[in-house]
Amino acid sequence: MPHDSFIDPLVSRVSHLIGRKSKHDDKKKEPYYSGGGSNGPQEHSSASVISGSFNYAHDFVIQNATMTERAEYTFSNNNTVLGSLVPYTMPEAAMDSSARDPPPRCHPGTRVHIVSKLERLRDNPNRQWDMIWLHGPAGTGKSAVAQTFAELCAERNQLGAAFFFSRPNKRDRPEKVIPTLAFQLAFHCSAFKSIVTRVLANDPHLLKKAIHVQFRQLIVQPFSQLQDQHHESVRRPFLVILDGMDECDGEKAQRDFIKLIGDLVTVKRGFPILWLICSRPEPCLVHTFLRLPHCQREELVLDEHSRDDVEKFLRDRFQVLRDEYLDLMPTIWPDEEQLDIVLRFCSSLFAAASVVLGYVSDPASANPIARLNGLISFLQRREGMVGPSHPLISLDMLYTRVLSEIPEDLFPTTQRILSYLIYTALPIYRVDSCQTSLSIPAPEHAIDKKITFHHASFADFLRDSDRSGKFFIDEGKAYVDMAKTLLFWHDLDAGLFHATDGIRFNYDHEHDKPLPDAADDVCYMFAILEKLDVKDKDLLNQVQSQDFRYLRISNHTLCDVLKWVYKQDPSNTLVHKDPSSEVDFRLLDYLKIMTGGESVRPAVSYLIWVSHVVVVIDFWSELFIEVR
């Protein structure tokens, strides 16, 4: 026990009895710390004297005493040192915070594999890593896993601290993280509390210093000291959770936290903290974690196991509803056909399942049968029922939130890529702005693996203007943009690699770096544009300026282009019925040669003509190439 913790109150009392005054009364008072009292070196009235077991005691002897340290340092304003931490913390981010009540938890019997794996890592003294990154798309249940694991560790007195980030709920300030972790660790480990209390007492301005300084002095050094002392409290590791790291304000702050922890577990192997960081696989986090050699990576994958977990979750919760409304329910509810429709919609996403159950069990309606019937009808139609009663409003809010987080300068490109994914079967291989709702291949596989949606409801959301609002992707505009882009890539490919092909396109030519096979795809776009009756002046100008010598397309797809052009502007110079230039007359001369001088009837209607031109389009194309 430190001598000053015991002596300070006695000295203070003696000073009071003999009536001494501090020589520093006239100076500006600084924070004063003592081991057991709240009064500093200042003048006191008898009412302000600190009370204690030895107040006014004298002429006594203590035998066979057991002294217990009470390391409750205080400032001169009677605030404890740990109390001074509170304004710098975020209590709402704790595991058991009322702000998060009820928190997301794993449904009993679900996510057993990942939770068990985390428990084995915690209990293995020879584990290879002291840092785990648990990642997965939005809505896969990362926070539920983190909460469940935290509660299991708390039951074993191994939970050190937890910070559950939430940008919408303003739990995202990076400067709050280290003080919050230190405060919680002090609550769970008294030995750590004693050291941190002294540290803060010796440096009252520490909480205003840089995050890396706080991390070193409030986390690293205290636990290193306990570890060096082989203190009993650090024989087993404490769990520290940072959930939703991607919602911490600022990518730099996210990277800094990860690097601080990564450097710690690299330099101090066996440090008495097991770090669990949960997040969506945002690009900046993926790149940061890839650079950490001493970090275990675990992914919440959307597979058959997760689908089985979702099914169990739904069945059990439907059973609870059935028991709650027993008098209203049929013997079997929901029936297997209804359950199958819901399961197909939810797939492996717990977020979707939670939305479904939240809608069906809405206490305001108190009619789960009608609610489920309405939901089934909605899922079968995938339209209508929008507005406040929309059964997918919560999921829509999730998607809106994901899209809102994309930087404004990146969103136009992201929206274009999303439009390609929604409206075509064309393979799109790389986009980083929306990883939370898409399955995106790793960079090394970007050339041969397509991007896919984690869940079909995201595409439905983007196609429905009533649901997605400003994020709505219009089908006609999407195809216009795709046609423009594919024409650009076709021109680039032709100009770089096929300028010397001659009259026949070199199909066997292989590029060093693959470019999109745009020719047939672009004409497929025009077939849809013609069907949708979409008009766009810029695209028309781009087509009219196209060099058709290198347009590698089939007969039918060229007709689709020509049909669309003619509908846009019957007076265009690309497609017309009457000769209007020297080139047209030369083509007619070639036509006479082709027909052996027989008379040729003029086209009465362009649309009729284009339906018959297919039979001679190859020869016609060669003539056109020679003329050009």
Q: Report the 3 state secondary structure along 437-488.
A: CEECCCHHHCCCCCCEECCHHHHHHHHCHHHHHHHCCCHHHHHHHHHHHHHH
Indicate the pLDDT class of residue 68, thresholds 50, 70 and 90: low
pTM of the model: 0.61
Which pLDDT score, from 0 to 100, does residue 562 have? 78
Any idea what DSSP says for residue 206? G
The C-alpha angle with vertex 137 and arms to 136 and 140, in degrees rounded to 5, equals: 80
Output the CA–CA distances (angstroms, integers) from residue 71 to 4, 199, 231, 238, in the order listed: 11, 12, 17, 22
CA distance 461 to 437: 12
The pair of structure tokens assigned to 169 is 């709920």
User: What is the CATH T-level fold of the domain 88-299, as seen in this structure?
Assistant: Rossmann fold (3.40.50)
CA distance 628 to 622: 10
Neighbour count for residue 203 (Cβ, 10 Å): 13
Q: Report the 3 state secondary structure along 137-150.
A: CCCCCHHHHHHHHH
The pLDDT mean for the chain works out to 78
CA distance 335 to 333: 5
E strand intervals along 126-263 = 131-135, 159-164, 238-243
pLDDT in tens, 28-54: 333 333 333 333 333 333 333 444 566
Looking at the DSSP assignment, which residues form a beta bridge with residue 80? 74
CA distance 369 to 334: 8
pLDDT in tens, 172-215: 999 999 999 999 999 999 999 999 999 999 998 999 999 999 99
Q: Which of 150, 179, 220, 155 is nearest to 91 (CA)?
A: 179
Q: Which of 554, 429, 412 is nearest to 470 (CA)?
A: 412
CA distance 401 to 403: 5
- Type and span of the H or E element at 299: strand 296-299
* Better pLDDT: 378 or 536: 536
Q: Report the 3 state secondary structure along 494-533.
A: HHHHCCCCCCCCCCCCCCCCCCCCHHHHHHHHHHHHHHHC
Q: Which of 324-328, 455-459, 497-501, 560-564 has the lowest mean pLDDT?
A: 455-459
Indicate the pLDDT class of residue 26, thresholds 50, 70 and 90: very low
pLDDT exceeds cutoff 90 at 252: yes
Mean pLDDT along residues 452-480: 82
Q: Which of 285-299, 388-402, 486-500 has the lowest mean pLDDT?
A: 388-402
The pair of structure tokens assigned to 166 is 């939430």
Give yes or no for a contact between 349 and 455, defined as CB atoms under 8 angstroms apart.
Answer: yes
pLDDT in tens, 405-417: 788 888 888 888 8
Report strand pairing: 438-439 vs 452-453: antiparallel
Q: Which residues contact 492 (CB under 8 A, 6 or more apart)?
A: 515
Which pLDDT score, from 0 to 100, does residue 79 have? 52
pLDDT exceeds cutoff 90 at 279: yes
pLDDT exceeds cutoff 60 at 375: yes
Report strand pairing: 438-439 vs 273-279: unpaired
Q: Where do we find the tokens 């010598």?
A: 549
Indicate the pLDDT class of residue 610, thresholds 50, 70 and 90: very low
* Better pLDDT: 223 or 13: 223
Phi-psi region of 385 (alpha: psi -120 to 50; beta: other; left: phi over 0): left
Give me the sign of the Cα torsion angle 242, 243, 248, 254.
positive
Which pLDDT score, from 0 to 100, does residue 483 have? 87
Indicate the pLDDT class of residue 615, thresholds 50, 70 and 90: very low
CA distance 547 to 491: 8
Which pLDDT score, from 0 to 100, does residue 625 have? 39
Give yes or no for a contact between 70 and 36, defined as CB atoms under 8 angstroms apart.
Answer: yes
Percent of the chain scoring above 90 in pLDDT:
38
CA distance 272 to 185: 12
pLDDT exceeds cutoff 60 at 549: yes
pLDDT exceeds cutoff 90 at 162: yes
CA 67 to chain centre: 52
Which pLDDT score, from 0 to 100, does residue 290 have? 93
* Better pLDDT: 493 or 310: 310
Q: Is the peptide bond before 334 cis (omega within 30 degrees of 0)?
A: yes
Mean pLDDT along residues 439-459: 63
The pair of structure tokens assigned to 556 is 């039918």
| Domain range annotation of the chain | 1-80, 88-299, 304-391, 397-473, 477-627
Looking at the DSSP assignment, which residues form a beta bridge with residue 162? 241
pLDDT exceeds cutoff 70 at 595: yes
Mean pLDDT along residues 508-515: 58
* Better pLDDT: 133 or 26: 133
Any idea what DSSP says for residue 111? S
E strand intervals along 226-329 = 238-243, 273-279, 296-299
Mean pLDDT along residues 58-74: 61
pLDDT in tens, 136-145: 988 889 999 9
CA 393 to chain centre: 19
Neighbour count for residue 213 (Cβ, 10 Å): 13
Which pLDDT score, from 0 to 100, does residue 467 have? 84
Which pLDDT score, from 0 to 100, does residue 482 have? 86
